[in-house]
Amino acid sequence: MQQRLANPLLTTPIRQYRSWFCSEGPAQIRIRWQHSVSVPLNTEKPFYVTSPIFYVNAAPHVGHLYTLVLTDILKRWHALLGKKSILCTGTDEHGMKIQRAAAKAGQDVRTFCDESYKPFETLAKEAQVDWDHFIRTSEPDHRFAVQHFWLLLRERGWIYASKHEGWYSVSDETFYPESGVQLALDPATGRKFMASKETGKEVEWTSENNYHFRMSALKDRLLAFYKENPQFVVPHTRMKSVVKEVEAGLQDLSISRPVERLNWGIPVPDDASQTIYVWLDALINYLTKANYPFQIPGHESSAGWPADCHVIGKDIVRFHCIYWPAFLMALDLPLPKQVLTHAHWTIGREKMSKSTGVVVNPFFAINRFGVDCMRYYLALEGGIKDDAMYDNSFIIDRYKKGLQSGLGNLVSRVTRYKGWNVRRAVKHAYRPIGQFNEDMSSLLRALPGEVSTFMDELYPGKALWQIMKTVFETNGFFQLSAPWKLNKPEDEEELDRIIYLCAESIRICGILLQPFMPSKMNQLLDMLGVAGDKRLYSHAILGSDKDYGEPNSPLGTGNQETLFPPLSSDF
């Protein structure tokens, strides 16, 4: 190892790292500058939401799909509000896990990554995730951003060299203190091993020289930030856990690995004997696609930073809610506004995990039930605070009750029946045709605000439940009103009133459901004849649209063009 590693305090100005800038800097600066000039300047900061970047050491499962769906719903919701929105997702391709997975597959690491990232990109496409950036951490522009970030940390004195000893989990890519590990037993083989108490993953004792980040010095600043931003972590139970962990004390963090142990990653600038810690590398991806470090003065937020919401699983809370704010604080960079931490999906009460093989193939699920059905089910039943149990029978039940018999049946009855005319009902609603049903009217007036509140609180599932509750209420109103019995000329006014309220419910719910089921809601709004430029949140107001009612596409008969047709009998 080079002599500089023995130096306890590295504060050499960046301009003195000539060897790194001469060999690495110019080419990477060109890459990043070309990227930066292609980013349009915005007068208003876009809403910036991110999913975690996914390890490519194994194929994606339904848990990854859930995270992507949640992220996409938030992006589409803010687009529905009329805001420019940016979604960033991608793959984490560095670290020991990837290095070992490639060796196990008998491939060089680059070839392994070039093949293994594709299923995650394909999943995002099949899930209809409307992403703006799909980042791979092996890309040159990300490497430049990470190395630049490192050099600034080092220049400001946040990095020092020291010997590190401790228990390291390759699976979790993190060190654990002595108090955080315990002896475990593999029931299948009887083998005893040391494992993390938190995750149950195997740990190994390591002793090595590497670089450390002075995270312990940021304890008070972190606690002050949490106090000022009590909604930083959602749900509140995990916010409390984060505060408790930081209050208990922070240790300085090892942020590099000797190259002889980890050679697949981003090299430490000007020290080829060390590789940058995968979590420091990975977290910076959110900055990379926000055009860091080439953010134009006066337009620093043009590409989205600071992030409005990071969406992550609960197993990576420490990295996103403690490590990441600490890294950003060290450079006086703006911190993300919120972190939505969701719970896990379980099968037979066992967490889905690539390492254990307890997984559901998301491609099979989408192919079997359809993308809109899967997005609906995951958003409706997925846990934020508590884990949720995944079962095909649950998906079928929610589809039949909520989508087929609920929303689909309501749309079919209102738009296809020959005993009335939706367009006429909408036109007549703007004449004095009598008092509308006050209960239904109040329900529809309140719905947009109720949904908005849940979305602001980062609970999309609750927002979806509220919309579906309105669908069920409308079905009940329709059935109780029995419009099919109103077939006399003198009944026309009452008939139009009933059909109008039901059509308005479908229209408003259809608009609000677009972030959850974009394809099906596009079809629904076409069936209702809602114009393409009248589908924003601002249009989800009772009586705001007087021009719809003529379908934009054929309604068909039977199951043809049915919004939610019956599932195949073999399900």
Output the pLDDT for position 2.
Answer: 38
Beta strand extents in 223-263 (DSSP E only): 233-234, 253-254, 256-258
Domain segments of the chain as ranges? 406-539
Which residues have C-beta within 8 Å of that of residue 345, sequence separation ≥ 6? 62, 63, 66, 351, 352, 360, 382, 383, 387, 388, 389, 390
As a whole number of angstroms, the distance between CA 535 and CA 491 comes to 32
| Token pair in block for residue 429 | 């609603």
How would you classify the pairing of strands 174-176 and 133-136? unpaired
As a whole number of angstroms, the distance between CA 443 and CA 219 comes to 48
Classified as helix, coil or strand, 221 is helix
Output the pLDDT for position 63.
Answer: 95
DSSP state for residue 471 in the 8-state scheme: H
- Select the CATH number that applies to the domain covering 406-539 from these four: 3.10.450.40, 1.10.730.10, 1.10.760.10, 3.30.43.10: 1.10.730.10
Which residues on neighbouring strands pair with residue 376, listed in sequence order?
none
Cα 459–463–466 angle (5° rounding)?
140
Which residues on neighbouring strands pair with residue 310, listed in sequence order?
50, 339
Task: Assess contact for 406 and 471: CB atoms under 8 A.
Answer: yes
Which residues on neighbouring strands pair with residue 470, listed in sequence order?
none
Which residues on neighbouring strands pair with residue 133, listed in sequence order?
88
Walking along the chain (571 residues) 10 residues at a time, the average pLDDT comes out as 38 47 52 50 84 95 97 98 97 92 93 97 98 97 97 97 74 69 76 75 78 97 98 98 96 93 92 94 97 85 95 97 98 98 88 72 96 98 96 96 96 90 89 72 96 98 98 96 92 92 97 98 96 98 94 68 76 45
Output the pLDDT for position 9.
Answer: 31
Output the pLDDT for position 16.
Answer: 47
Output the pLDDT for position 559.
Answer: 55
Task: Assess contact for 275 and 266: CB atoms under 8 A.
Answer: yes
As a whole number of angstroms, the distance between CA 279 and CA 501 comes to 53
